[in-house]
Amino acid sequence: MSVVPAEVLPGGVLEADERAAGPAELGPRARLWPSLAAVYRAQLSRARVARIPLLFVATFQSVGILIMMRGVVDGGSQAEHVVAGAAVLVVAFVALNLLAQYFGQLRSSGGLDHYATLPVPPAAVVLGAAGAYASFTVPGTFVTAAFGCVLFGLPLTNLWILLAVVPLAGAALSGLGAALGLLAPRPELATVLGQLGMSAALLLGVLPPERMPQFVRLARDLLPSTYGVEAYARTFSADPDWALVAWDLAVCAGVGGISLAVATWAYRRAAVR
């Protein structure tokens, strides 16, 4: 007859020790920046397959709008807003439209469950996907801006400001696009909302504000990409007011932080359902 040690019996020493130790703890969650880099690389390699069509469609659309507006606008401040708006529209096409579709499909297909099982912060998932999609807009933005400057006879001197405009406007619009996709109850509705957001960026960003009624100008001030358009448009002046340019970029950065925070909240809300 075998003898069972007393410490393994109910109420024994081993059970008491296990109760004292509490439930087993999982490993620590990954830090934000390493997780962000990993998600960014994964999303970048996945989106690379559609890079050429993505660049072509976004750039061709904005270049076509520039050619169309050339028959309406001659030059001056109106041309400056048209060129700046068309350049930022490339960012809006990807950050608003495509990102809303991506997160809408990710939610409906159960793809969020995969990310929920990984020890990565929700902000890393949102920022990584947004950064990967926005990265493809940089060449198209510069091509559109350079074409518009040549078409309207504007200087090419300050194209470098787009290196600040693209990531800041992209962050603001990416957060908005991701939030639309995550909060939409169906992927079809996410697609519609993304299209409406891009249409708003087209109408309110490309059309000269001088020709808009007052209530439309107020709506224009609520659109995050407007401040990126204004920042770039101000640099066409012979003596740009760099303080105003910096202010527009700062507002764009602030709105971007808020929109990405909303997208992170929307991700958490969608992941637990």
Quote the pLDDT of residue 38: 84
Task: Answer yes or no: are the C-beta atoms of 144 and 67 closer than 8 Å.
Answer: no
C-alpha span between 29 and 102 (Å, rounded): 25
Higher pLDDT, 214 or 157: 157
Quote the pLDDT of residue 207: 86
Range of the domain at 76: 31-271
Q: What is the pLDDT of residues 168-178, one digit of tens each?
A: 998 889 889 99
Structural domain includes residue 24: no
Quote the pLDDT of residue 50: 60
Task: Answer yes or no: are the C-beta atoms of 133 and 99 closer than 8 Å.
Answer: yes
How many domains are there within the chain?
1
Amino acid identity, residue 252? C
Selection from 50, 36, 51, 176 nearest residue 103 by Cα? 176
Quote the pLDDT of residue 229: 94
Q: Check: pTM over 0.85? Answer yes or no.
A: no
Q: Label residue 45 by pLDDT band (50, 70, 90).
A: confident
Quote the pLDDT of residue 52: 65
Structural domain includes residue 229: yes
Decide if pLDDT at 214 tops 60.
yes
Structural domain includes residue 20: no
**Could you tell me the two tokens for 221?**
């001030």
Amino acid identity, residue 266? A
Structural domain includes residue 11: no
Contacts of 188 (CB under 8 A, 6+ apart): 104
**Could you tell me the two tokens for 189?**
């509705």
Quote the pLDDT of residue 97: 86
C-alpha span between 166 and 206 (Å, rounded): 16
Residue 223 DSSP class = S
Structural domain includes residue 4: no
Contacts of 118 (CB under 8 A, 6+ apart): none
Quote the pLDDT of residue 48: 66
Q: What is the pLDDT of residues 77-105, one digit of tens each?
A: 899 999 999 999 999 888 888 889 988 98
Quick one: the chain helix, strand, coil %, rounded to 5? 80, 0, 20
Structural domain includes residue 142: yes
Task: Answer yes or no: are the C-beta atoms of 246 and 228 closer than 8 Å.
Answer: no
